[in-house]
Amino acid sequence: MADQLRYDGQTVVVTGAGGGLGKAYATFFGSRGANVVVNDLGGTFKGEGASNKAADVVVDEIKAAGGKAVANYDSVEFGEKIIDTAIQAFGRIDILINNAGILRDISFKNIKDEDWDLIMKVHVTGSYKCAHAAWPHFRKQKYGRIINTASAAGLFGNFGQTNYSAAKLAMVGFTETLAKEGFKYNIFANVIAPIAASRMTETVMPPEVLAVLKPKWVVPLVANLVHSSNKTETGSIFEVGGGHMAKIRWERSKGLLLKADPETYTPESILKKWDQVNDFSQADHPQGPANFLELLENAQKLPPNEQGPKVDLKGKVVLV
């Protein structure tokens, strides 16, 4: 058997750890030697009310099993208080799992500003506030691991979830940038789109499906991503649930390059070649924006009627 991944001496903050996925992460890290900050506001899945009980129950469970944990009851909107709990209790923060979440599902026709704003506050502002408060500690110690939580709804869209989808895809861009800014300080950030039985999903999935989607089956992937032995995986998106895990990446079609000439670069000429825009037979998997200069240079080698604008190597585009 491979050596057990351990987190002795490290401090893990798990937001929304009073139930569902957060509880599964918190109890796992508690059982593997970490100091755990169990954050939970303790409200309903729609973000109403608050209670200390959700976090307390999990702290008690971790301690009863011989682990180290403290509770924090602040909303993630006040992330600095959550990170402060970690510093006060354990003197450090090594791993942040941005997991807290709520739903305000409603058709776009009927959505109200408050449904939009609350989802943005909890998912987007909450993740930002926690990461931002942890960041100086991570930089100083040249070590930090972050997991942000997206959703299939964010990656693919879902009926009744414009607010939630927008917030969840924001987690992808947030993670990709944190990964870029953090790399030289050994701060790694990855984002997961989990699927698991929880109070969030029990209203929309039948019991037989929920039975095979235990939250604990999301934990092993997260455990690897935030472990110090992970020295390469950062800025990545994973789908994970029910024992399955897979990586998601962008795909860009080879695309269409038209001569940037008022005579030929017209909406009509794009429409005529729409199949080329949609053709993924020569796609790539980009880590960044298209290299337009290279594309333009290549375009000059095309037959005259296919050519794009002329470009010199200093990057000045010369329209012909």
The residues, ordered by sequence, that sit 6+ positions from 311 with a Cβ below 8 Å of its Cβ are 293, 296, 297, 300, 317, 318
Contact call for residues 230 and 224 (beta carbons, < 8 A):
yes
The residues, ordered by sequence, that sit 6+ positions from 238 with a Cβ below 8 Å of its Cβ are 190, 191, 192, 193, 221, 225, 245, 246, 247, 248
Amino acid at 255: G
**Residue of minimal CB distance from ligand NAI?**
20
Cβ closer to ligand NAI: 121 or 139? 121
Could you give the CA distance from residue 58 to residue 61 in angstroms, rounded to a whole number?
Answer: 5
Q: What minimum distance in Å lies between the beta carbon of 26 and ligand NAI?
A: 11
Cβ closer to ligand NAI: 201 or 307? 201
Length of the chain in terms of residues written: 320
| Catalytic residue list | 164, 168
Q: What minimum distance in Å lies between the beta carbon of 180 and ligand NAI?
A: 23
Contact call for residues 120 and 101 (beta carbons, < 8 A):
no
The residues, ordered by sequence, that sit 6+ positions from 275 with a Cβ below 8 Å of its Cβ are none
Binding site for ligand NAI (CB under 6 A): 15-16, 18-22, 39-43, 45, 47, 54, 75-76, 99-102, 122, 126, 149, 151, 194-196, 198-201
Cβ closer to ligand NAI: 35 or 99? 99
Cβ closer to ligand NAI: 65 or 209? 209
Contact call for residues 100 and 94 (beta carbons, < 8 A):
no
Q: What minimum distance in Å lies between the beta carbon of 172 and ligand NAI?
A: 13
Cβ closer to ligand NAI: 37 or 41? 41
Q: What minimum distance in Å lies between the beta carbon of 47 and ligand NAI?
A: 6
Which residue(s) pair with 145 in the sheet? 95, 188
Number of Cα atoms under 13 Å in the Cβ half of residue 76: 36
Q: What minimum distance in Å lies between the beta carbon of 76 and ligand NAI?
A: 4
